Structure 1
Amino acid sequence: MFEPLGLKRLSDIVPGDETWFTFFIIPPKRLNHIWVDEQGDRPVVLCPGFQSRKRMFTVFFNYSGPLVVEILPRQTTMTATYYVQNVLSQVKSAINEQRPKVSTFRILILHDNAGPHKARATTQSLGELGIQILPHPAYSPDLAPCDFWLFLILKDRLAGRKFVRIQDLAKAVNSELRTIPEEDYQGMFRKWQIRLKRCIESHGEYFEGLKVSCTYH
């Protein structure tokens, strides 16, 4: 589909997903490594608890960069109705603004198989807009751009920073999204293709040692 002579273009793909951002993100283990002598005490590293302050963010992006950042209100559950009315409506508006002559036709949404994503209300709404849903195999975060790339970058960049207000956390997330160069977004899609080919070559079997991560400075 996405080869040079294929019917689809990588620039038509719009990946998106939800993730939790805590108000204090613990740095990853690799950043906590230090040398300790035989008599030294190991440092104590706290882990976020189940009740740590956090908010759910939904992020959509495309070949050019971020499109939509939506924050789920407190004490609200992500449902198909909310997803359609508050998230996909913003995605549609962002695409129309970016591509006024093309509109939402030819757009390919890439999201996982979470309930709100595959609900009838969601598929009907996308169908009415002329948006096609790219199939995503279950239990395959290694093929989901948000999981294997974008969210890792954001949480690495925000690690060790403490936020008191949701406005500050949202500002930081938006700022980091926009500091990622456009060529890195484009490079991610090319590396996503490599992951898809690896999956096809292995006949869908799971494997280890896949090293096609995108570099981000």
Structure 2
Amino acid sequence: MFERQGPKRLSDIVTGDETWFPFFIIPPKRLNSMWVDGQGDRPVVLSPGFQSRKRMFTVFFNYSGALVVDMLPQDTTMTATYYAQNMLSQVKSAINDQRPKVSTSRTLLLHDNSGPNKARATTQSLRELEIRVLSHPAYSPDLALYDFWLLTVLKNRLAGQKFDRIQDLTKAVNSRPRTVPEEYYQGVFRKRQIRLKRCI
């Protein structure tokens, strides 16, 4: 579908997912590594515990960049109702602003097969908003654009920073996806095509 002469374009795909952002993100192992001599002590790197302060955010993006960054209410997780009533409407509005002539007529939503994404409320909302779903193979996080690229980029850019207030964390998570150059977003969509071919 997405080859040069195919009927679809990579710019038609919109993808997104939710993840937890702690108030302090531990830098990745490669940034924590350091040389020590035989007599020196290894540095201690503390990891955040399961009950560390954190909030769940949802990020949607496409070929041109970030579309929607949303923070879930405190002490909640993603549900079909929230996804259908809040997230999908924001996505449609963002697409209309970005591509007013095309709107959502060509949009293909790529999301995983989690419960809220497959629920009846979600499928009904997608029909009403005229957004089609691009099928995603089950149990294939290595083919999910969000998992193998955006999460790593976002969390690496926030690594080592400590946020005391939710307003500061929200501002940082909202701004970081929009500081990633457009060519990076385009590159990751092209890399996914290579991964799909290898999988086949």
TM over 0.5: yes
Which AA in structure 2 matches 1:139?
Y
- d(CA) in 2 for partners of 1:159 and 1:3? 37
Contact 1:105 / 1:129 at 8 angstroms: preserved in 2? no
Measured against aligned partners, the alpha-carbon deviations of 1:122-179 in whole angstroms (never above 9, x if no partner) come to: 1111122221111111221111111100110000111000001121112112222111
In the alignment, what sits opposite 1:162? 162
Superposed CA RMSD in Å reads 1.0
Q: Is the CA contact (8 Å cut-off) linking 1:106 and 1:130 kept in structure 2?
A: no
Q: TM-score, normalised by structure 2?
A: 0.97
Q: Secondary structure at the match of 2:21?
A: strand
Q: Which residue pairs with 1:85 in the alignment?
A: 85
Provide the C-alpha distance between the structure 2 equivalents of 1:128 and 1:10, rounded to a whole number of angstroms: 23
Give the Å deviation of 1:77: 2.7
1:108-119 pair list within 5 angstroms: 108-119=108-119
What is the letter of the counterpart of residue 69 of structure 1?
V
What is the match of residue 215 of structure 1?
none
Unaligned runs of 5+ in 2: none
Aligned partner of 2:42 in structure 1 is 42
Work out whether residues 14 and 62 of structure 2, in 8 Å CA contact, stay in contact via their aligned partners in 1.
Answer: yes
Q: Does structure 1 residue 123 correspond to structure 2 residue 142?
A: no
Contact 2:56 2:77 in 1 (8 A): no
Query: Match of 1:207?
Result: none
Query: Which of the pair has the greater relative contact order for Cα pairs under 8 Å at 6+ separation?
Result: 2
Q: Are 2:23 and 2:164, in contact at CA under 8 Å, matched by a contact in 1?
A: yes
- What is the total number of aligned residue pairs between the two structures? 200
Percent of paired sites with the same residue: 79
Encode CA deviations 1:109-128: one digit per residue, 9 max, x unaligned. Answer: 01111111111111111122
Equivalent AA in structure 1 for residue 148 of structure 2: F
Distance 2:50 2:153 in 1: 22
Gaps of 5+ in 1: 201-217
User: Are the equivalent residues in 1 in contact too, given 2:65–2:178 (CA < 8 A)?
Assistant: yes
Structure 1 moving runs of 4+ over 6 Å: none
Counterpart contact for 1:109–1:132, Cα < 8 Å: yes
Matches of 1:44 and 1:139, distance apart in 2: 35
Contact map agreement 2:85 2:125 (CA 8 A) in 1: no
Q: Which whole-Å CA distance do the structure 1 matches of 2:41 and 2:77 have between them?
A: 43
* Structure 1 residue 63 displacement after superposition: 1.0
